[in-house]
Amino acid sequence: MRIEALNHVAHLQKEAIEYIWKCWGNQNNRKFYEDCINHAFLGAQSLPGFYLLLEGNQIQGCYALLTNDIISRQDLMPWLACLYVNESVRNQGWAGKLLEHGLEEAKRMGFSTLYLSTDLEGFYEKKGWKLFGRGYNLWDEPSKIYLHFTGGFKE
């Protein structure tokens, strides 16, 4: 298995749009996901970016690095979002490898901190993420915000 930036495997873009939308979207927002992914990595490799966990050309997982994860804290960036691993390959360390990859990518881009928003309990803490605070989604629901330092230099 390998982790690839979607722009490096552009021939999988349609499959990636469908996969990420099915993991995280609903019947009302397919165009949103399609537009986000189609406009990622325009020009130089920077934000936003989508990454795939691949076995051959089969997508087994994904994550994204975004300027905002549709949360009220517009002052924070970048965000790790859309982390997902297929059930068939879970409990093999792939989610942790995707998280590590995201931290390395953020560091390579020069960011010292990476954020994520979640309602999960316990998972990210085990991976070294620290609770930072709370924000609110589009439905006024609170969400925990975690951070992880990358060792980069941007603020």
H helices of 73-155, in order, are: 94-108, 123-126
**pTM above 0.85?**
yes
Residue 10: partners with Cβ closer than 8 Å, 6 or more residues away: none
Measured distance CA(147)–CA(128) in Å, rounded: 9
Instruction: Answer for the pair 155, 75: CB distance below 8 angstroms, yes or no.
Output: no
**80-118: pLDDT as tens digits:** 999 999 999 999 999 999 999 999 999 999 999 999 999
**What confidence score (pLDDT) does residue 153 get?**
53
Instruction: Answer for the pair 40, 85: CB distance below 8 angstroms, yes or no.
Output: no
Structural domains of the chain, ranges and CATH numbers in brackets: 2-149 (3.40.630.30)
